[in-house]
Structure 1
Amino acid sequence: MYTYKKRIVVKVGTSVMANRDNRIMLSALTKLVDQISKLYEDDIMTVLVSSGSVNAGKEVLGDVITEDKSQRRQIFSAIGQPRLMRHYYTLFQNNGMRCAQVLGTKRDFNPGEHRTNMINCYEGLMSEGVIPIANEDDAVSVSHSMFSDNDELASLIAEMIQADMLIILTDIDGFYTGHPNDDNSKLIREITVDQEVEHYIAKSDKGEASGRGGMKSKLKVAKNAAAKGIPTYIANGKRDRVILDIVEGKDVGTKVTA
């Protein structure tokens, strides 16, 4: 049975994984997997919450004749999820590691048998030294069963497994006092759950290229997680060693604390 010193949850957004043509970049996935592998060597277990299945599906199909927005998302995700997992499986295997896919809907986190089954699944995988890779089950998750975005999914998993840390990776360095491209904007290094910074969002939020989440969502999720005792970081996933630097306590991104 694998034993570890810490367990962390890392959420990677589509904007980190995809290029300007919205195609998944293997180089980005490789950097991500290499960092998780290094943490594993240091007895730190990572649960990876990965976006990108819809983009991966579009790479295969191009476009579809279906006009219904929800059905298009289901089709792209159903095609793209195994393609995305094949990339992860190969990359982790190259590092001598194993990974597993865990899909879920919002209903699975409600108190009861579904939640218990989810907990048992994650605990079982981690005890065997297998990296769980989580994503919303877009193929069946519609309307009320949908997460607001994968940021919310990551926070629910972090709470469920009692993670020591939650890291949300996007394509900017953290939470700013204005638009990230504005020379007058400043990166906020630390935010507390009761600190009023929401007024900055209208000026700073640029969203994610192909995802549903923006900085408003990330701040809400980070504050909720921090309020439950899980320090949360919002950082630039395109930065080299960003996960390792955060775990090592370096001054990276925006930290949200209770």
Structure 2
Amino acid sequence: MHKYKKRIVVKIGTSVMTNRDNRIMQPALNKLVDQVAELYEEDIMTVLVSSGSVNAGREILGDSVIEDKSQRRQVYSAIGQPRLMRHYYTLFQNYGMRCAQVLATKRDFNPGEHRTNMINCYEGLMAEGVIPIANEDDAVSVSHSMFSDNDELASLIAELIHADMLIILTDIDGFYTGHPADEGSELISEIKVDQQVEQYVAKTNKGETSGRGGMKSKLKVAKNTAAKGIPTYIANGKKDRVILDIIAGKPVGTKVTV
């Protein structure tokens, strides 16, 4: 079984891959795949946790006649997942690389047969040099089987595969001492798991309008993940080479660590 120099998990937020009309931007995905391909050449395996299936489904179906929000989300996701994966499949194929879709619900991470199957799936894909692309199985995931958001899913996967780091990409540079647009507001470059910075979250939070996870969620997930020995970064996924810069140790985003 291939032993990579590093294993990393990268969560791509909805706001990173969509424009103001909530339509998926192929060039944005292209930049991200470029970086994953470059890391692969350096013997670093990336597991992607990708939002966007609901938006992709909405692009195809348009306005839905379904009134129930949960059911509407299920339908959009079921339609959108193949479209989203087609984007990724085409982009990775340009590099002669292969990718695979791995859908999960929260119960799949519970101790027992489901968790063992998840581990075997990820280990098998990585051994074959295939890039796993994970997402919540929105088509069947409701109520108690739902993740709070894809940040939580990314954290659970990072723990599952013993990742060397987790990178959460959103549309702002990280946590600030105030709202990012305010004069005098500064980026917090590093946060310790026992450091109280929650007072900044409400000021920093812009929210991902078409996603479920905001900055409060990201801080909680980042601290929980870092406490398990996996350094976690929150950074701006719209910046060029942001993943590569983090791997290179450049001062990018907010690092959360023990």
TM (normalized to structure 1)? Answer: 0.99
Matches within 5 A, 1:29-178: 29-178=29-178
Partner residue in 2 for 1:228: 228
Q: CA deviation at 1:209?
A: 2.3
Distance 1:209 1:31 in 2: 22
Amino acid corresponding to residue 232 of structure 1 in structure 2? T
Distance 1:125 1:113 in 2: 18
Q: Secondary structure at the match of 1:185?
A: coil
Q: Secondary structure at the match of 1:116?
A: helix
Q: Does 1:245 align with 2:248?
A: no
Distance 1:192 1:215 in 2: 16
Q: CA deviation at 1:180?
A: 1.0
Q: Secondary structure at the match of 2:251?
A: coil
Amino acid corresponding to residue 191 of structure 1 in structure 2? I
CA deviations 1:98-139 (Å, max 9, x no partner) are 000000000000001000000000000000000000000000
Task: Give runs of ≥4 in structure 1 deviating > 4 Å.
Answer: none
Distance 1:252 1:202 in 2: 21
Distance 2:220 2:71 in 1: 28
Q: Does 1:199 align with 2:199?
A: yes
Distance 2:249 2:107 in 1: 35
Amino acid corresponding to residue 9 of structure 2 in structure 1? V
Q: CA deviation at 1:2?
A: 3.8
Amino acid corresponding to residue 78 of structure 2 in structure 1? A
Query: Percent same amino acid at aligned positions?
Result: 84
Distance 2:182 2:226 in 1: 28
Amino acid corresponding to residue 212 of structure 1 in structure 2? R
Number of matched pairs:
258
Q: Which moved more, 1:63-72 or 1:200-209?
A: 200-209
Q: Secondary structure at the match of 2:90?
A: helix
Unaligned 5+ runs, structure 1: none
Q: Cα RMSD (Å) of the superposition?
A: 0.7
Q: Secondary structure at the match of 1:176?
A: coil
